[in-house]
Amino acid sequence: MKSARILQALRTDLALRQLKGIHFIIMSVFLWSTLIVIQATDLHILMKNLLTFCATGMILPGAYYISKLLRIDFSTKDNPLSKLGLLFTLNQLLYLLIAMWIYPTLPEYMLMVIAIVFGAHLLPFGWLYHSKSYTAFAIIISFLALIIGLNFSPLVLAIAMLLLEIIFVYCLYREIKQISLKY
What is the rounded CA–CA span in Å between residue 71 and residue 73? 7
Whether residue 145 contacts residue 158, with contact meaning beta carbons closer than 8 Å, is answered with: no
- Quickly state the pLDDT bin for 95 (edges 50, 70, 90): confident
Q: What pLDDT score does 131 carry?
A: 97
For range 38-65, the mean pLDDT:
96
pLDDT of 90 above 90: no
Domain locations along the chain? 2-182
For range 20-38, the mean pLDDT:
98
pLDDT in tens, 106-159: 999 999 999 999 999 999 999 999 999 999 999 999 999 999 999 999 999 999
pLDDT of 164 above 80: yes
Determine the straight-line distance between the first and last CA of the chain, rounded to whole angstroms. Answer: 22
Helices (H), 41-153: 45-56, 59-69, 81-105, 110-121, 123-128, 132-151
Q: What pLDDT score does 96 carry?
A: 83
Whether residue 14 contacts residue 79, with contact meaning beta carbons closer than 8 Å, is answered with: yes
